[in-house]
A and B are shown apart, each in its own frame.
Chain A
Amino acid sequence: MTLFNKLLFTCLFISIFLISCTGNRFQGSGWSSPLVDNNEVFIATIDGELISIDLTSGKEKWRATSLDDQNGKYTSKAIYSKPFVFDEKVFIGTPAGRVLGFNRLSGLDEVSLQDIEEKILMSEESYGPIIVGNIILLNRNKIIVPSSNGEISIFSYNESEMFEPTCNFKAKDAIWTTPIIDPNSNQIIFGSMDGNLYSIDEECKLNWQYNTESSIVGTPILDKNEVYFGTLNRTFYSLNISTGELIWKFDNAKGWFWASPIMDSNIIYAPNLDGSIYALRKNNGQIMWKYDGKDPIVSSPVVINDFLIFVTKNGELQVIHKESKRKLGNCDIDHKIYSAIENYDDMIFIQVSDGSVRGYKIKKNGNPDELWAKPFFTPEDDDRNNEDWDPSC
């Protein structure tokens, strides 16, 4: 073996070793759920783009590309935050900690929150500063931006169509949950990876905080005077939103409460990474039943009519009857799914980590019927565009 061959062999061996050890772990797949508004589906993608799709036909209307690649400063990245529509514009929170607004008809760049960019942008590779939770509207003229650097920032929308910073609140660790607003008291409630559930007012002053001693990833839900949320310590809580005091807790789950729960007819459906959905009584937290989906559930489920619909991490869409707990239909998408299901009438829309968005109509018997599957890869010569996109179920 010559010297050159030895060097070549060593180089090859180290490369294979390192690649096999690391895989594509640096590539985030994002978990932005699609937004359906006025017969349009807006999807913020794995490749860092915002796409508008016609709901009925699945045809692309426009695409805003490389949201984090302006001036060659940022690399495009997967987006986690769900788009939101305000003042005929579509807004998106990016992995570089920026909020961008686009004309909803043309997709042209209209509003950029430079203040947020300066404040939140810290690093590109770490997941520290990215916007993971969804940005929400407050009182029709303000937005609340959660960031994984632990800051909640409130901005007001002025007459010149620009956002101005109003106030901010800093938690001890990242905020991945979407803030929720109590319509009666206007208090803003959110969880943090520091283990606290916080309540702040419109001026970012702390009302109360409740320490669970474990990270909160899933967005809490509100009902009347109570807030419900789960933690990574396998415990589900109910708190009084006026005082922040514990009402009940459920701690018999076997895995992390990762995804946001939902509520329907006084029952809380809490998905868990142990593969189960726990049905808990709203008033006392007692378990009514649990359904074993046989695979971790990292995305939030939906209820349509009598059906509880959820997807597992490894890509199985399941429809169960919420009374009988019978499995009525399923669909094997066969790719990882992290994003929450978006519900519109009797249709659902899911972003899949293979780089596609899928639309399904839930039939009266509970069977999911695929409306369309839309890959959104760029450029056009991407091999994945040539794959077979026949309906998966």
Chain B
Amino acid sequence: MEIFADIWNLVFIRPMVNSLIILYIFLGSSFGLSIISFTVFIRLIMFPLSMRQTKQMKAMSLIQPKIKAIQEKYKNDRQRISKETMSIYKQQGINPVGCLGPLIIQMPIFIGLYQALYITLPSSPENLTQLYDSIYGFIPIINQAIPIDGNFLWLNLETIVGSSDLYTKISLPILVAASTFLMQKTTATPAMDDRQKSTNRMMLWFMPLLLGYFTLSFPSGLALYWLISNVIGTIIQLLITGKIQNPFNLNSKLIDEAPDIIIENENKNTTIQEKDQDESSRNVSKNNRRSNRHRSGRTKRKQGRGGNQSNK
């Protein structure tokens, strides 16, 4: 097990801790700015993964009616359900773990950053010796920067939120909860049935409250990271989904790359993609329309293949 811990430290913790300290040095000894800039940097690096995850989640939600229809149709044959479901995934070019993949890749980075913050801002004097194990001691300026000054705006970043002054104790949990709510709201995929809708609604409120409560037990530095991460995540999500204007046409890119979803009804075949196109055409520019026209050709071809398959 020790070797895994060593690899973990080498690959994630040490680079993160040292980056945070170097940013701290170059940002005028402000650890708050160091956390903010590092969180922005990490979020930008993971942007392609976030985009891919959004795309996969969207695609998954679009084929849900079809999956449900299969489950209804073959409710006594589990094997058949699984076979048909897999066949739909294959047909639509969806990887069932595709939504989880980016999440799984992101998780170690977030956990690593979380741990790096703990190490860099030790909560007790002896924990400062842990920092020694994580720094690149051969860089003199890093040794000189220690201990890190945890004061930022009205916050002391190493102090537990629950033990801080009343203003911090109230403001930080509320900010974390509100930003988590926004993040949840922007990432939630549309529910197809009432049960899912009710679950989504419950999670939308439950998660922010839970995280707001947990914030009271953590140092302000972590709460700041959580808050900034949520804010950036929300902005990225809004850019991807086209709810705010963006200079990179991320929304059209998302639509271009989304798999074509074919929903098979009893009497006719329709593509969700067509509906999607209708919706997106309201928002996207002329360039986007050109790209959609190009893709609609692909849709038609696939529609044909889908039709053939269903006839077999």
**Is A6 engaged at the interface, CB distance under 8 Å to the other chain?**
yes
Q: Are B144 and A6 in contact (CB under 8 A)?
A: no
**Given contacts A7-B202, A10-B203, A256-B137, A22 and B126 within 8 Å (CB-CB):** no
**Is B160 engaged at the interface, CB distance under 8 Å to the other chain?**
yes
Q: Are A132 and B125 in contact (CB under 8 A)?
A: yes
In whole angstroms, how far apart are the Cα atoms of A217 and B129 in the complex? 11
Nearest CB of chain A from residue B109's CB, rounded to whole Å:
13
In whole angstroms, how far apart are the Cα atoms of A31 and B124 in the complex? 11
**Given contacts A28-B123, A127-B125, A22 and B132 within 8 Å (CB-CB):** no
Q: Are B143 and A233 in contact (CB under 8 A)?
A: yes
Residues on A with C-beta less than 8 A from B106 are: none
Tell me which of B159, B199, B210, B218 contacts A11 (CB under 8 A): B210
Residues on B with C-beta less than 8 A from A10 are: 203, 206-207, 210
Q: Are A232 and B143 in contact (CB under 8 A)?
A: yes
Q: Are A234 and B143 in contact (CB under 8 A)?
A: yes
A301-332 vs B, CB cutoff 8 Å, 1 = contact: the mask equals 00000000000010000000000000000000
Q: Are A28 and B126 in contact (CB under 8 A)?
A: yes
**Is A190 engaged at the interface, CB distance under 8 Å to the other chain?**
no
- Residues 199-257 of B at the A interface (beta carbon under 8 Å): 199, 202-203, 206-207, 210-211, 214, 218
A353: nearest chain-B partner, CB-CB: B126
**Given contacts A27-B124, A193-B147, A298-B129, A3 and B198 within 8 Å (CB-CB):** yes
Total interface residues on B, CB under 8 Å, equals 38
B135-178 vs A, CB cutoff 8 Å, 1 = contact: the mask equals 00100100110110000000010111011100000000000000
Q: Which stretch (A103-111, A118-126, A158-166, A356-364) binds chain B? A: A118-126
Which secondary structure dominates chain A's binding surface? loop
Tell me which of B114, B137, B199, B210 contacts A254 (CB under 8 A): B137
Q: Are A21 and B111 in contact (CB under 8 A)?
A: yes
Residues on A with C-beta less than 8 A from B146 are: 214-215, 232
**Given contacts A7-B202, A126-B159, A256-B143, A17 and B111 within 8 Å (CB-CB):** yes
Q: Are B137 and A255 in contact (CB under 8 A)?
A: yes
**Given contacts A14-B210, A25-B118, A125-B163, A176 and B125 within 8 Å (CB-CB):** yes
Q: Are B126 and A338 in contact (CB under 8 A)?
A: yes
Tell me which of B127, B133, B147, B159 contacts A25 (CB under 8 A): B127
Tell me which of A21, A26, A30, A296 contacts B115 (CB under 8 A): A21
Could you list 13 A-B pairs, sorted by A, with CB under 8 Å? A3-B202, A25-B118, A26-B123, A27-B124, A123-B159, A174-B147, A232-B143, A233-B143, A234-B143, A254-B137, A258-B132, A296-B133, A298-B129
4 new A-B contacts, CB < 8 A, other than A80-B125, A125-B160, A148-B125, are A28-B123, A127-B123, A217-B128, A273-B132
